[in-house]
């Protein structure tokens, strides 16, 4: 039986890489579960309870089509005769609608599940958007310094003096004035993400740009600018040691 020279080593190499990768993952998990973060997490009943409640809410939102009683966005599934049905614990309540219905016969339990999906999407996306802008501007301000640093930080100081909800409402109002009503209704999710993200970037920028974490300009023989800016967001060893004392 003929065989291609080197074919056995070619098959063994991917297996060896997969085994090493799996071993690294197991080692990382072992260090995590043996670390201070997991130990502190287990010792706090409030934190564990909050994590369980958060996991239940997130999983309920993700699997809403499977555990909901109806699709609240499907007009064919609504019946006006079911409008204003009281919740199940009321006298005229029914297990068909555990939390009751609204004026259109929409099941409130299903509406909450589907609505939480949209809320989580907007919340997560707006935080990522604010994080991207804040970290980027904070690194630029700390790295360049001078007039650029002064302009970015003064804008942050002015914005932080106003409540975030007012900034978000202002941005949403401008979007309503600029966009037609039909177009605004189509882009309402993106407008909300933009409004919330632009109202929350200041905290990230001020944290990254802190005076103790300001990156310095690289020398001709030193690390690159991108490496300096990436390292600016990580605490120094002396800071980690002092924080544990």
Contact between 233 and 139 (Cβ < 8 Å): yes
Q: Give the model confidence (pLDDT) of 107-127 as tens digits.
A: 999 999 999 999 999 999 999
Res 240 pLDDT > 60 = no
Domain ranges of the chain: 120-237
Give residue 208's Cα distance to chain centre.
18
Q: Give the model confidence (pLDDT) of 34-81 as tens digits.
A: 888 888 998 999 999 999 999 999 999 999 999 988 888 888 888 888
> Which pTM was predicted?
0.70
Hey, how many other C-beta atoms are within 10 angstroms of the C-beta on 149? 17
> What is the pLDDT confidence band of residue 245, given thresholds at 50, 70 and 90?
very low
Q: At 184, list the tokens.
A: 């605004």
Q: Average pLDDT, stretch 187-210? A: 90
Residue with the two structure tokens 């993200």: 197
């Amino acid at each position: 039986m003929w065989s291609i020279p080197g074919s056995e080593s070619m098959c063994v190499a991917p297996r060896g890489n997969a085994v090493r990768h799996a071993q690294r993952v197991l080692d990382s998990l072992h260090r995590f579960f043996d670390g201070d973060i997991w130990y502190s997490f287990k010792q706090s009943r409030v934190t564990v309870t909050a994590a369980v409640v958060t996991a239940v809410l997130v999983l309920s939102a993700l699997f809403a089509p499977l555990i909901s009683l109806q699709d609240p966005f499907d007009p064919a599934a609504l019946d006006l005769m079911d409008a204003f049905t009281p919740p199940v614990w009321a006298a005229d309540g029914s297990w068909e609608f555990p939390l009751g219905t609204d004026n259109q016969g929409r099941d409130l339990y299903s509406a909450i599940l589907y609505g939480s999906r949209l809320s989580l999407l907007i919340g997560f996306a707006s935080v990522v958007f604010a994080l991207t802008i804040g970290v980027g501007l904070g690194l630029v301000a700390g790295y360049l310094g001078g007039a650029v640093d002064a302009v970015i930080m003064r804008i942050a100081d002015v914005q932080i003096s106003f409540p975030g909800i007012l900034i978000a409402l202002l941005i949403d109002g401008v979007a309503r004035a600029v966009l037609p009503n039909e177009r605004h209704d189509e882009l309402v999710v993106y407008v909300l993400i933009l409004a919330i993200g632009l109202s929350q970037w200041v905290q990230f920028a001020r944290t990254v740009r802190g005076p103790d974490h300001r990156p310095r300009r690289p020398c001709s023989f030193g690390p690159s600018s991108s490496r300096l800016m990436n390292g600016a967001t990580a605490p120094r060893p002396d800071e980690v040691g002092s924080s544990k004392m």
